[in-house]
């Protein structure tokens, strides 16, 4: 299978030093008046950012940095970028929180602290109510503040009285803000908060430019956590814990990004006077798109980001979100989990990955689990390639939701194992060699007209509703409740061939060569002591029937009906799915259904995450000039009391290190 070349070129665009490039060093022991040399480091990352010019590198040494980085300028090009990196092997933590002391005991396990509003500067998360288009508060107020015990957040109560009671299920906090002070009440069972370094949100973001158009920036190797982010709908500026803010050419790699009240990483749009004025209006979002085009949304100006190797968790809206901004990007090898699991509020923008307009974007090799929804591609999914993602334990919604798109988009070699695998409210899609262990839902959308585009472009070519159909299902393996008969009455033509249906899964009338068996292949997803995930199942070649399964190619996929465009890679080269999930070759007529070619009958066991690169990938993917250290999330061995029945999955990267409270930078 040919590789999509554009992200590879982007991936190669790591810092190439020039004669006038500088490296600035930042250390906890530094001084902002220092030169920034290795022997005289700067104290804050922001001061280094203020000095850095295109081509420069900012190397940050071990420690906790409590500040928001606001890059004041762009790199010049893909090979003269500004790079922010953790020193090799260093554990560098950047937090949007501060440690607070001065807690007074109230009653039971309830304590309070009184902070002058001046402590928060111009932004007070405890007065900042969560709001925005398509946000659903579920009958109460929510704020972007948070309180952390041992790095893990407590739950915001809906009223002060709830916090003053004995702890029931999980500790709570509640904040009130008057003209002078912010008063926070919180429950700390069997804990003295004046000794345990309680942290509270004070900054809206950790790494986010205040102005759009900060291009060609690399952020690598950090732990970034504790951000007071607000709701990020597609019709407003999308501020994340880290975000690109309507720009081009960022590389965000090998970071831990966690504990953001709404969103972790944003590739979203700019803000204007029309923000949050278009809720429940498809026409309103069309106007947002037109304004985006007027503001420079084009292949030349926006997108082309690389987001890879990050560990993103504990965000209540989305792990990665982007409206218009994620076009022409590569989202690769990220681990995303614990997204919208507390269910304190709801809305229409919640998923591990939620994109509007991922035009010519690749989403591959990501591991998504424990999320309310997996991958949600909403509007203008054109030229998009979703491949080799492992998605499981997603509830209550779906592993993949494609909403009101006209294609062409290709979904191949994914492993979807939740109760609902695919929710299809689009047309013009192709599904090939996937393992689908859950239901498929298919619903036309006749009351919304959404755009399609010329090839490789953001310009609007036309608008149409979703009649449903114009989809292709080739060589997939269905296990369990999936019923392709939902497509029997699709308004647009369907093409289905070479699929294998096991354990109750059933084909559509559109498929004449389906292989069907009631056998239970005993599918299991397991986890070993290293954290690797394995697929186990029984497969027999005879179950696939005596069918010559052709390779899936661009020629076979044809053209998506509405935009009249072929299924090809963004550089125009064709797809040929002649390798399986692990790079094993397929030959025409011998392709086995699903992601894996099998060499023998019986019990099969494959390590599906982390997936080992194929020989072709190792050859074609340039090695980075900087070998970053991937930080692991240590297991949390904190104080779990019997009466605190909460799910705590990980500890802060530098547990126990305390920093005195000071006015936030």
Q: Per-residue pLDDT tens for 84-102?
A: 999 999 999 999 999 999 9
Q: Residue range 113-141: average pLDDT? A: 97
The pLDDT tens digits of the residues spanning 548-598 come to 999 999 999 999 999 999 999 988 899 999 999 999 999 998 999 999 999
pLDDT confidence of residue 612: 78
22-36, 71-85, 644-658: segment of lowest average pLDDT? 644-658
Q: For residue 350, count other CB atoms closer than 10 A to its CB.
A: 28
3-state SS track over 196-239: CCCEEECCCCCECCCCCCCCCEEEECCEEEEECCCCCCCCCCCC
d(CA 141, CA 259): 19
pLDDT confidence of residue 382: 98
Q: Residue range 175-198: average pLDDT? A: 95
State the first-to-last Cα distance of the chain, in angstroms, to the nearest integer. 49
The pLDDT tens digits of the residues spanning 42-76 come to 999 999 999 999 999 999 999 999 999 999 999 99
pLDDT confidence of residue 614: 72
Q: Look up residue 289 and give its two tokens.
A: 């798109």
Res 437 pLDDT > 80? yes
Q: Look up residue 144 and give its two tokens.
A: 């972007």
Helix or strand (DSSP H, E) at 534: strand 533-539
Residues 6+ apart with CB under 8 A from 116: 180, 181, 182
Q: Please give the angle made by the CA atoms of 10, 12 and 16, to the nearest 5 degrees.
A: 115
Res 642 pLDDT > 90? no
* Greater model confidence, 546 or 643: 546
The pLDDT tens digits of the residues spanning 268-277 come to 999 999 999 9
23-27, 131-135, 628-632: segment of lowest average pLDDT? 628-632
pLDDT confidence of residue 169: 85
d(CA 13, CA 309): 16
Helix or strand (DSSP H, E) at 91: none
pLDDT confidence of residue 616: 67
- Report in angstroms the alpha-carbon separations of 580 from 378, 413, 586, 590: 28, 7, 7, 12
Res 634 pLDDT > 90? no
Q: Are 567 and 489 in contact (CB under 8 A)?
A: no
pTM higher than 0.85, yes or no?
yes
Residues 6+ apart with CB under 8 A from 380: 289, 356, 357, 358, 359, 405, 450, 451, 452, 453
The pLDDT tens digits of the residues spanning 481-539 come to 999 999 999 999 999 999 999 999 999 999 989 999 999 999 999 999 999 999 999 99
The pLDDT tens digits of the residues spanning 234-274 come to 999 999 999 999 999 999 999 999 999 999 999 999 999 99
Q: Are 604 and 537 in contact (CB under 8 A)?
A: yes
The fraction of the chain above a pLDDT of 70, given in percent, is 89
Main-chain phi, psi angles of 292, to 5 degrees: -60, -40
- Of 148, 1, 77, which Cα lies nearest the Cα of 554? 1
Q: Look up residue 414 and give its two tokens.
A: 């994914």
8-state DSSP, 555: H
pLDDT confidence of residue 546: 86
Average pLDDT for the chain? 90
What is the distance, to the nearest Å, from the Cα of residue 473 to the centroid of all Cα atoms in its chain? 26
Q: Are strands 172-177 and 181-187 parallel, antiparallel or unpaired?
A: antiparallel
User: Domains in the chain, please, with CATH?
Assistant: 9-95 (no CATH), 97-201 (2.60.40.1180)
Kindly tell me the sign of the dihedral angle through the C-alpha atoms of 38, 44, 46, 47.
Answer: negative
């Amino acid at each position: 299978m040919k590789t999509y070349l554009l992200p590879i070129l982007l991936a190669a665009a790591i810092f190439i030093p020039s004669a006038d490039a500088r490296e600035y060093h930042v250390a906890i022991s530094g001084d902002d008046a220092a030169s920034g040399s290795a022997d005289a480091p700067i104290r804050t990352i922001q001061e280094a950012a203020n000095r850095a010019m295109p081509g420069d590198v900012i190397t940050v040494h071990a420690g906790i940095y409590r500040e928001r980085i606001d890059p004041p300028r762009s790199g010049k090009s893909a090979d003269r970028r500004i790079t922010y990196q953790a020193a090799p092997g260093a554990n560098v933590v950047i937090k949007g929180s501060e440690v607070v002391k001065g807690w007074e005991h109230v009653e039971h396990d309830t304590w309070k602290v009184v902070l002058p509003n001046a402590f928060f500067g111009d932004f007070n998360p405890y007065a900042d109510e969560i709001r925005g288009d398509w946000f659903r508060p579920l009958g109460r107020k929510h704020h972007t503040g948070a309180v952390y015990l041992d790095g893990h957040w407590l739950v915001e109560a809906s009223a002060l009285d709830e916090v003053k009671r004995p702890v029931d299920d999980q500790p709570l906090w509640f904040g009130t803000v008057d003209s002078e002070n912010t008063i926070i009440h919180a429950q700390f069972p069997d804990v003295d908060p004046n000794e345990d370094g309680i942290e509270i949100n004070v900054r809206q973001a950790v790494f986010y430019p205040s102005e759009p158009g900060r291009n060609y920036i690399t952020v690598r190797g950090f732990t970034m956590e504790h951000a007071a982010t607000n709701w990020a709908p597609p019709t407003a500026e999308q501020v994340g814990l880290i975000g690109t803010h309507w720009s081009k050419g960022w590389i965000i790699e090998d970071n831990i990004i966690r504990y953001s009240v709404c969103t972790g990483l944003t590739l979203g749009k700019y803000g204007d006077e029309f923000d949050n004025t278009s809720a429940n209006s498809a026409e309103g979002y069309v106007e947002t798109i037109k304004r985006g085009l007027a503001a420079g949304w084009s292949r030349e100006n926006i997108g082309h980001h690389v987001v890879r190797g990050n560990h993103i968790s504990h965000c209540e809206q989305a792990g990665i979100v982007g409206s218009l901004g994620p076009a022409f990007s590569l989202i690769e090898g990220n681990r995303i989990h614990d997204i919208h699991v507390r269910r304190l509020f709801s809305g229409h923008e919640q998923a591990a990955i939620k994109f509007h307009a991922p035009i010519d974007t690749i989403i591959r090799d990501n591991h998504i689990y424990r999320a309310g929804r997996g991958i949600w591609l909403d509007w203008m999914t054109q030229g998009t390639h979703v491949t080799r993602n492992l998605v499981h334990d997603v509830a209550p919604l779906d592993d993949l939701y494609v909403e009101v798109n006209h294609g062409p988009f290709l979904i191949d070699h994914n492993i979807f194992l939740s109760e609902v695998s695919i929710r299809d409210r689009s047309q013009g899609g192709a599904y090939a060699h996937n393992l689908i262990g859950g239901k498929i839902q298919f619903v036309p959308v006749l009351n919304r007209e959404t755009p399609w585009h010329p090839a490789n472009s953001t310009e609007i070519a036309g608008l149409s509703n979703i009649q449903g159909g114009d989809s292709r299902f080739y060589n997939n393996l269905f296990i369990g409740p999936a019923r392709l008969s939902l497509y029997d009455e699709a308004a647009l033509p369907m093409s289905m061939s070479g699929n294998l249906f096991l354990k109750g899964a059933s084909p559509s009338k559109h498929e004449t060569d389906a292989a069907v068996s009631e056998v239970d292949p005993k599918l299991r997803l397991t986890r070993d002591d290293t954290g690797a995930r394995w697929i186990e199942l029984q497969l027999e070649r005879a179950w696939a029937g005596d069918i010559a399964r052709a390779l899936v190619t661009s020629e076979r996929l044809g053209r998506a009906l509405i935009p009249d465009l072929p299924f090809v890679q963004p550089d125009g080269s064709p797809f040929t799915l002649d390798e399986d999930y692990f790079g094993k070759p397929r030959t025409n007529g011998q392709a086995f259904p699903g992601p894996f070619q099998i060499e023998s009958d019986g019990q099969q066991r494959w390590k599906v995450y982390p997936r080992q690169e194929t020989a072709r990938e190792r050859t074609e993917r340039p090695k980075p000039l900087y070998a970053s250290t991937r930080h692991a999330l240590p297991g949390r061995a904190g104080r779990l009391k019997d009466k605190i029945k909460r799910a705590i999955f990980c500890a802060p990267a530098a547990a126990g290190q305390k920093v005195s409270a000071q006015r936030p930078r």
